[in-house]
Amino acid sequence: MQIFVDADACPVKEEAAKVAARHKLVIHYVSNSHMRLPFGDNVKRVVVSDGADAADDWIAEQCAAGDIVVTADIPLASRAIKKGAQVISHIGRPFTQDSIGMALAMRDLMAQLRESGEMRGSNPVFAPKDRSNFLQGLENAIQVGKRSGP
């Protein structure tokens, strides 16, 4: 079991590193540019080309059944789920085979509403409760992975 983090806009990089270290898991931070990241023997830094989906493509190609992917990108979550990985968002929300279809549909609907001007605004503010939810979500995913075995 390995952890893959879509790192470019992830607000919980430090938290993910601490949990990975506690469980002695390799964690891959994948980004389009160099950035300040946690250090550790288990930490792998991957900088991909500047292409719009290059980090997503790398994660989708490298993750496998039993791995954990941390992303807020719904299309990447769908690709990882199809490979058998567990996926959680930076607020600890799991994406599952049962929920990913609705998440993709809502993403498309919201994009349409923004493009038509019927909706404005941005994503909700990342709150301390979200950080706590992420830690619990990542811990849950690791425990599920350990129970499932290699």
- What's the fold here for domain 2-148? Rossmann fold (3.40.50)
Residue of 22, 52, 47 lying closest to 36 (CA atoms): 47
Angle at 105 between CA 115 and CA 88, to 5 degrees: 110
Convert the pLDDT of each residue in 19-72 to its tens digit: 999 999 999 999 998 888 988 999 999 999 877 789 999 999 999 999 999 998
Percent of the chain with pLDDT over 90: 62
CA 54 to chain centre: 15
**Residue 100: per-residue pLDDT:** 65
**Residue 107: per-residue pLDDT:** 58
What DSSP assignment string belongs to 5-44?
EE-TT-TTHHHHHHHHHHTT-EEEEEESS-------TTEE
Angle at 103 between CA 132 and CA 73, to 5 degrees: 65
Euclidean distance between CA atoms 100 and 89, whole angstroms: 12
The amino acid at 69: V
Q: What pTM does this model have?
A: 0.84
Q: In which band, very low, low, confident or very high, does the pLDDT at 90 lie, cut at 50, 70 and 90?
A: very high
